[in-house]
Amino acid sequence: MNSKRLDIEEVRSNLKTSWVGRTIYFFQEVNSTNDVARHLALQDAEEGTVVIAEAQTCGRGRLGRKWVSPPGGVWLSIVLRPEFKPRDLVKINLLVAVAASKTLREEYGLKAEVKWPNDVLVDGKKICGVLTEAASEGDIAKYMVVGIGLNANNSLSAFPPDLRIKATTIKERLGKDVKREELVSSLLKSFEFCYEAFREGRFISVLEDWRRFSCTLGRMVEVSGFGERWEGFAVDVDDEGWLIIKVDDGSLRKIFSADVTLSRSKDA
**For ligand BT5, the closer CB: 77 or 190:** 77
Residue 167 in contact with ligand BT5, rule: CB under 6 A? yes
Which of 71, 149, 232, 241 touches ligand BT5 (CB under 6 A)? 149
Tell me how far apart the alpha carbons of residues 78 and 33 are, in angstroms, rounded to a whole number: 9
**For ligand BT5, the closer CB: 2 or 205:** 2
Interface mask (CB under 6 A) for ligand BT5, residues 67-96, using x and -?
xxx-----xxx-------------------
Taking alpha carbons only, the member of 263, 241, 215 closest to residue 112 is 215
Closest approach, Cβ 198 to ligand BT5, in A, equals 19
CA 248 to chain centre: 31
Number of residues lying near ligand BT5 (CB under 6 A): 27
Tell me how far apart the alpha carbons of residues 34 and 81 are, in angstroms, rounded to a whole number: 15
**For ligand BT5, the closer CB: 118 or 214:** 118
Closest approach, Cβ 81 to ligand BT5, in A, equals 18
Interface mask (CB under 6 A) for ligand BT5, residues 30-69, using x and -?
--xxx---------------------x--xxxxx-x-xxx
Tell me how far apart the alpha carbons of residues 125 and 115 are, in angstroms, rounded to a whole number: 10
**For ligand BT5, the closer CB: 68 or 235:** 68
Closest approach, Cβ 168 to ligand BT5, in A, equals 8
Side-chain half-sphere CA neighbours of 167 within 13 A: 25
> In Å, what is the CA distance from 23 to each residue of 40, 48, 65, 244?
11, 7, 29, 39
Closest approach, Cβ 3 to ligand BT5, in A, equals 15
Cα-only R_g, the chain:
18
Contact 228, 268 (CB under 8 A): no
**For ligand BT5, the closer CB: 205 or 224:** 224
Residues of span 128-147 touching ligand BT5 by CB under 6 A: 129-131, 147
Which of 93, 118, 185, 186 touches ligand BT5 (CB under 6 A)? 118
Closest approach, Cβ 187 to ligand BT5, in A, equals 12
| Neighbour-count burial for 22-52, b at 16+ CB within 10 Å, e otherwise | ebbbbbeebebbbbbbbebbeeebebbbbbb
**Greatest extent of the chain over all pairs of C-alpha atoms, in Å:** 57
State the distance between the two ends of the chain, measured CA to CA, in whole angstroms. 45
Q: Where does this chain bind ligand BT5 (CB under 6 A)?
A: 32-34, 56, 59-63, 65, 67-69, 75-77, 118, 126, 129-131, 147-149, 151, 163, 167
